[in-house]
A = this chain, B = another copy of it.
């Protein structure tokens, strides 16, 4: 096939994870929620991360239309938006901070962009940002010459705004902050106070599981189980 010829529409549905560093690191050893999803959805979906370390909703809102253009909306099994960990930096962080009402509106705008693109709202999941372990993140910032501008209570307000946005848009949502903060040793969900540890990744995966089941359980396994392949009639047996 030469360049410019349209590829066939995918057999594999796509799970599109849009977010910041928590998503960019989604296949890493620690922050592995994307890898956990990909493993869970093997032979069903491709898990595609569009995570941008340091970005907030204000910036992701600008690039979302171009990101969506890579896909056919018919192929999207579901899409997540997982932002707020940078937006919720205190106002003194003038580069990353996004005021709370603006954060909520940006999320709603991003949902609308996805819906306009053709992804139905019941296939869109807003993930509330995680808690912030101020002590650990302060140490990380100090060790790495970064200015410490996070506050866990503020992070909670952004998480609430995210859940509100989901309610107002009619999308699905996952209360990650709320699920973290009620754990006795909730600091263990974070590797450096801000990013996900393996514990945090597994918690997020567990929270996403009911949504995933609802949106993918009907999808068939692509190509037959090897034990069902008819070796005397390979061509017909292996039709997609």
**Interface residue ranges, A against B (CB under 8 Å):** 1-3, 5-12, 24-25, 27-29, 32, 34-36, 38-39, 42-43, 46-49, 51-55, 58-59, 62-63, 66, 68-74, 86, 94-96, 117-118, 223, 225-227, 229, 231, 234-235, 238, 240
Number of copies: 2
Provide the bound-state CA to CA distance between A68 and B1, in Å. Answer: 9
- Which residues of the partner chain B approach A32 to less than 8 Å between Cβ atoms? 35
CB closest chain-B residue, reference A29: B39
CB distance from A130 to the nearest CB of B (A): 18
Determine the main DSSP class of A at the interface with B: loop
Of B46, B49, B86, B95, which is within 8 A of A48 by CB? B46
Q: Judge whether B73 and A3 touch: CB under 8 Å.
A: yes
- Which residues of the partner chain B approach A234 to less than 8 Å between Cβ atoms? 58-59, 62
Provide the bound-state CA to CA distance between A109 and B43, in Å. Answer: 24
CB closest chain-B residue, reference A40: B27
Provide the bound-state CA to CA distance between A225 and B12, in Å. Answer: 31
Provide the bound-state CA to CA distance between A35 and B46, in Å. Answer: 12
Q: Judge whether B225 and A118 touch: CB under 8 Å.
A: no
Using known A-B contacts A238-B59, A240-B63, determine if residue A7 contacts B69 with beta carbons closer than 8 Å: yes
Of B12, B24, B55, B227, which is within 8 A of A54 by CB? B227
What are 28 pairs between A and B in contact, CB < 8 Å? A1-B68, A3-B72, A7-B71, A7-B72, A8-B69, A11-B66, A24-B42, A25-B42, A27-B38, A28-B39, A29-B39, A32-B35, A34-B38, A52-B223, A52-B226, A53-B225, A53-B226, A55-B226, A58-B234, A59-B229, A62-B234, A62-B235, A63-B223, A63-B238, A63-B240, A94-B231, A95-B226, A96-B226
